[in-house]
Chains A and B, each alone.
Chain A
Amino acid sequence: MRIRTAGVVAAAALMLVAGACGSQKKSDTSTAAKKSGGTLVIWADDKRTAALKPFADRFGKENGLTVQVQAVSKELQTNFLTASQSGKAPDIVVGAHDWIGNLVQNGAIDPVALSAAQKAAFSAQSIKAVTFNDQVYGVPYAVENLALIRNTALAPEVPATIEDLVATGKKLKADGKVSEIMALQVGQNGDAYHIYPLYSSAGGYLFGAKPNGDYDPKDLGVAKPEAQAAFTKIAALGEKGEGALKRSIGSDNAIATFTGGKAAFLISGPWAITDVKKAGLSYDVSPVPGFAGGKQAQPFVGVQAFYVASKGRNKAVAQEFVANYVTRTDLAKALYQAEPRPPALTAALDAVKGDDPDLQKFLDAGKNGVILPAIPEMASIWDPFGKAEAAVVGGADVPSSVQAAAKAIQEKIQ
């Protein structure tokens, strides 16, 4: 009796297996179809996925292949590297240009061979940003940098220097119209990206340049006396000085402080404009002012770009898409509409500039900017640099804070 039951169970289980095999066959043919028809997989963040979708579909339809745009909302770079490692890489990935150093050292992206004419269609700055070790590694589509956004109802005049800005801010504060002199995000652990314009205006720099124009990790600006001088000036704006820079203003509340009318000045990028418009403020955009008698304030210029994955299955088509399709004006315009960052394609910029005067203003603000270094060593800068900033803004001793940051960076770089 028992043995018979076992037999029944075995037979029934095998029948289920047969059923499973049947469905297995079906999925097998579908993967086979994928292989023969050609599939192009693109990874991007949420916002860009929505903008890319219609264009990707059209590209697929025109050329008889399936294009999948997949949203990776968190840790896109890390996920892409992990996927490349395990053979599940997409064909194309969309991301910031300062990833290039790390993606290249992991052998995850291939150079893109753009013709001279194609390169000329982009702003020179954006092509320089995606060039690494003399190779172009991505096709840029948007450029972004910091600028000064001011509430024109409170501060009608463009401040010529940071001292002017602080004076105006203080007066408004004394009059009770605002509660903060300006909104520049610092946070408890600092923010190297946002303080860099002031740091550069006060004479500081991050890396020297090699003869070919690349950044030289051996020449570390934070370890130089210029950095001490620059941080001394930043400290004077801090909590124990003018009170213009505060650790209590961080990435989570800087824009809200401005849109809530608590500050007349905001130093931020094109991504803040959506919120500013929503708040219904009258505003204007101008370059970040420098210190009186100092150098020009240089914001970092960042570029968003399309990359071809080294481990993709469909590299020929990926190259074709990136080099000859992403360079089209209408795609650049659609990406702009998804999020208002200035297009890197000159023709696309000209097309949308008319409707959106802010774009040109942001570009002007970034004209003197420095391209965000893409060398892998840059990753070692952010954290110690930011912490030194937070320390001096909070009133800590400048020389020891800057020396400690320089030491921490040097230990990591070597």
Chain B
Amino acid sequence: MYQYNEQDQTLINARVEQYRDQTRRFLAGEIPDEEFRGLRLMNGLYIQRQAPMLRIAVPYGLMNSVQVRKLADITRKYDKNYAHFTTRTNVQLNWPKLEEVPDILAELAEVQMHAIQTSGNCLRNTTTDHFAGIIPDEIEDPRPWCEIIRQWTTLHPEFAYLPRKFKIAVTGGPEDRAASQVHDIGLHMVKNAAGEVGFEVLVGGGLGRTPVIGKLIREFLPKRDLLTYLEAILRVYNLNGRRDNKYKARIKILVNALGIEEFSKRVEAEWEIIRSTELALTDDYIAKIQGYFEPHPYAADAVDGLSVLENQLDDNAEFRAWYERNTREHKIAGYRAVVISLKPHLKPPGDITDVQLDAVADLADTFNFGEIRSTHDQNLVFAHVAAGDLYTLWQSLRDLNLARANVGTLTDMIVCPGYDFCSLANAHTLGVAEQINEKFDDLDYLYDIGDIKLNMSGCINACAHHHVAHIGILGVDKGGEDYYQITLGGSSREDASLGKIIGKSVPQADVADTVEKILQVYVESRLEDERFIETVRRIGVAPFKERVYATVN
């Protein structure tokens, strides 16, 4: 993974001291509340319902064991012994003290971490596929490009006060595990007719109150032009995005208002001016950054573990279930990628304790070249585990309550913290997640339902991406009571689509029962091997609606 050089470290250290001074001046009354709000948000600090919340950046979801141990340590020293992973692959602390945040940032800087631009109306953390670099059909590893984008976005002097937040996702091949089509900019690595690798560029996707699928703005962007083209898009947006209404300020609204042709014309005009400037990438720089993402030293004899693994799978049904649900193919024979489920029974999705963090760091050192990835659906990934190590790793994870074999199933939900923590939320989410967990605890039932994506947001800001879930749940406030609106048929993958609302929202107590009725319709209607999303697409939402709102006699 990328390692800071002296310049990177100098920048991060200086930023900590800059923020320390901003905090000091705020506490001394020298910076008005509203202005400090802008400054603290750009450093990841929110003021929440019960306490501040600090969002720490995990650039493109990649960490090493030293960083994870530091996170564990910070949750012990400054917080309540746990942290929470988010859909931007970042990590949040729910109970830091405002005065102590500069000290937390200083500790993070020691391990090359920071909270820069994890909130605020600026360029946010770039995300990517959590299986980057290990997928057989990947065109190219997207992570070096994420790092190049990270450097360009970090403390960009022109784009620190955008109309609204701005998010970029990069994928390395035809599969999309980064929800790239609902990002302000989605970049897909593609090969053109001449066999050159570059980027397909989408613009103007987004969720929130007006969900939009991104539109194609450029079929092929040569690699060296990546930053000039991004800068052209950002400049057009910075100058033209609406600033009078925060709900209409995202780039998706601008692209829709101008139309993609006119927007694209403006971007191209700006790009022509800057395309050949110093911002054009150099081969040396690209090669240097790519050098940080060389394959790990895989063991040539890892394939020998496959026969041992076969026996272990035959002997232990529980292990087999975990293997089937929570591990994925790796392009190197004898290795697997392991998804560590942060969706244990009756615990808030995405949460992890200090003890678990420390243990995960140790396990990563033993089994995964010291690497840990966070995923946009709030799990962790060990991307390179030798076949012969899987059983031992599984036992350790099981003892840590991190081996629930539910990845990709109904209980692998994306859930925002909701009303319990977030001051924006209209409704609770964690209790409803528990209700769903209690209802659908039977693994055999979950496996029968198969691949399904359920996401739940506590308000229209859609932090949990409910619009692009197969089953989306949105909490709304109805006269002081929590109600939940259900959408069906969304997808954040390469076949991205927005879910359709099935009808009026349901009371809190009925959410799990409603999900059950929806699943009944699926089970009754599915064709052989048909996944939930495919059935919904084939039969439409009407049969589901009928069942959910049928009058009880």
Partners in one complex: no
